[in-house]
Structures are given as C-alpha cells and as structure tokens.
Structure 1
C-alpha cells in the first residue's frame, strides 16, 4: 500500500465516532438545560440518523443488508418520537433492541441466517450471481459459519440491551452520555468479531471449491480414452 493512500476503514471509524458518539454527546450536554431531557435526547439522535442515511445512499446499499439497516433506523426514529419522555425513550430502545434480537433468534432457529444473505449481497457487489452464491453458501462446511455469525448477532443484541438496562437502572437518564460512549465501544468490538468471521468464511468456501475441482479432475482422469 502506497504511503499516500488512506485506509478507508480508518475514515469510517473516525466518522462513526463523530456522528454516533461525539455530536450526540455535545448536543445532549449543551441542549439538556435549555431544551429539557427529552428534546435534547431526540436532537442528539439527528447526526446519527443523517449519517446513516448518507452512508446508505453513498454506498448504494439497496439490498437486503441496506434495507435492514434503513428500516431499523426509521423504526427506531418512530419509537423515539412516540416515547414522550427521555426515560421512556431509553427503555424503548432496550425493548427495540430485544425485538431485533428475537428476529435474529428466529432466523437462527429456522436456519435462515441474515449473515448469509448479507454475504450474498457482498458477493453480488463483487460481480457474482446471487443464486449461485446462495447455493454455494448453503453447502455443508460453509453454512455453519454463517449460523455462527448469526449467533454472534444474537449475543451482541443481548449484551447491548443488557448494558443499556444496567446503565439505566444505575444512573437513569443521567447515564445517557455513558451509554453513547459504551455503545460505540461495544459496537466496535462486536463489529471486529463479526467482520473477522465474515472474512474467515473465505477459508471454508475456498476449501469447498478446491475439493469440487479435485473431484472433477479425478472423474476426468478415470474416464477411459
């Protein structure tokens, strides 16, 4: 990699920190006294909302993964607007997180992991057909890894909901600033684990492809000439 090149992942880490943690923190801290807890909390969600929409459009995520993200964003916004108070808004975010976790659990149980469909979207961006990618990812030795990633989605949802509930019970609305920081840190940790597992799926995928090629060559050599 050239010295003048920038790592795009570092750029997104900085932008995530700014829009999901720094801006909301500042808006909450300086808007709380003049506007009240609920109004300040609602306003603090605006930078993250706009940034998510921007990423959605810029990266052209008009697929299952993108639609999942943007629908979650709008549902969360509706719940926030209907909450009516800062404390209820925070508790509703806990319940909403558990609702998403239940959806992930159902997808895991019925063996329809979102992780697999996200991988199909990514492969499609790289030029592979969705149908062939989906068939490949369902092969034995590959599919289980997507189930494991799906399980990690479930663990992340439960941990995030538990962390929010703990901070709410201990600090109440005053713990909102801590939630912003802890949520971002935990999100990064799980994000690294999930992305690492996604990248590792290349190993069983390549092993399966190699085994298929070897079997094909063996069949060809066994045919009498």
Structure 2
C-alpha cells in the first residue's frame, strides 16, 4: 500500500503552525511562571527565528528577498533584546511593523515595489536572467500587478499592527498566547492572497510575451496559421 505524500504547501503550513505558533505558545505558557514574562517571551521567539533562517538557507533566497529576510530578522531580534520588558517588547513589535509599512510605502511611491524584485529573485532561481526579468516586469500591463501586490504588503502590515494593538489593549501581556494564534491565522490569509496574486501575474506576463512574439513573427512574414497558434497558447 502506497503512502500518501504531503503536498509541499501543506507541509509548510504545518511547519509554520508548529514553529510560529505551537512551540512559542508552549514555551510562553510553561515558561512565564518560572522565568517571568519577558524572558519567556524572548525564548518563545527563538524557534521561529531558527526556522526562518533554516527556510532562508534551504530555499536559497538571494538578493532583495534574502536581504529583506536577514534585515527583518536582525532588526526584530535587536528590538526584542533591547525592549527590557514583555509589554515594551510587544509595543516595540508594533512600531517595528509600522516601520516596515513605511518602507513598503516608500518603495511603492518611488515605483520600486519589493514585490517585483521578489519575483525577479524567484525567476532567477528558475533560470531567467535578472536584467531581462526586471525589464519584462516593468512593462505596461505587468508592472501594475506588482504595485497591487506591494499595496497588499502595506495593508497586511497595517492590519497586523492594528490586530496586535487591539489584543494588547484588551488583554495586555496575558493575551500574548492569543496574539500568536490570531496573527498566524491572519498571516496565512494574507500570504495566500499574495501568493495568489503572484501566480496570477503569469497571465499578463504570458500575454505580453505572446504579443511580442506575434509582432516579431508578423515582421518576419510568418504564416497566419502559425501566428494564430501562438495567440491560442
């Protein structure tokens, strides 16, 4: 009898839940009494940090994507270590999240969306040159989709910060366990939306490539049948 294989997406969802929610929840619940709120909260962030570094190394993310991950981890760790108390650590996490929202907004305003460069990094891993991918993604009809994805990054950051502030004001530090669960669920929802938009960009990209190929074939005198076959791809 053949064993059922876990789909990669399902595998990552399980691992995300395990390292970003379940283990931190257990460490927080059973560590706060003997260690205190702040040390327990700091310790609860370690599994997620190690898991993020592992994913970064395993998936071989490069350039903008890799730099963004490393900088985010570095700033998050520094802020946590310098906070001095559990409550300050949570509030500083909100401020850091809003800082990244501002960075995402600036990138959108100057027409250099991180979403586009994340896609360039992914295309590079598939064997495409960065220069040609960047030029292609900036074409009219394609670029706007990366702006939309960038806007979703901004909305996600604002929503996550707002959710954390709401839970902090309602439950205080005692609501940290609920923050872990609710924020992870919200992160999954936004991640699914962002990944869906990234996948959708394949459609306008393919349409543009086909139109360019069709134009080239027309100039080279290709037969109408060949041009029609290309248009139907």
TM-score normalised to the size of structure 1? 0.96
Q: Deviations over 1:28-74 (max 9, x none)?
A: 00001010000100000010011111111111113211220121011
Does structure 1 retain, via aligned residues, the 8 Å contact 2:120–2:133? yes
SS in 1 for 2:57: helix
- The answer for the alignment partner of 1:165 in structure 2 is 165
Taking only aligned residues, the RMSD between alpha carbons, in angstroms, comes to 1.2
Any unmatched runs of 5+ in structure 1? none
Q: Cα distance, 1:221 vs. partner?
A: 2.1
* 1:102 and 2:106 aligned: no
- The answer for the alignment partner of 2:179 in structure 1 is 179
Following TM superposition, the consecutive aligned residue runs of length 4 or more in structure 1 with deviations greater than 6 angstroms are: none
- The answer for the alignment partner of 1:32 in structure 2 is 32
Q: Deviations over 1:78-120 (max 9, x none)?
A: 0000000000000000000000000000000010000000000
Distance 1:184 1:66 in 2: 22
Q: Deviations over 1:142-163 (max 9, x none)?
A: 0000000000000000000000
TM-score normalised to the size of structure 2? 0.92
- The answer for the alignment partner of 2:227 in structure 1 is none
- The answer for the alignment partner of 1:137 in structure 2 is 137
- The answer for the alignment partner of 1:122 in structure 2 is 122
Q: Cα distance, 1:11 vs. partner?
A: 0.8
Does structure 1 retain, via aligned residues, the 8 Å contact 2:104–2:153? yes
Q: Deviations over 1:155-200 (max 9, x none)?
A: 0000000000011111110110010001100000000000000000
- The answer for the alignment partner of 1:43 in structure 2 is 43
Any unmatched runs of 5+ in structure 2? 223-233
Deviates more, 1:211-220 or 1:102-111: 211-220
* 1:111 and 2:101 aligned: no
Does structure 1 retain, via aligned residues, the 8 Å contact 2:62–2:121? no
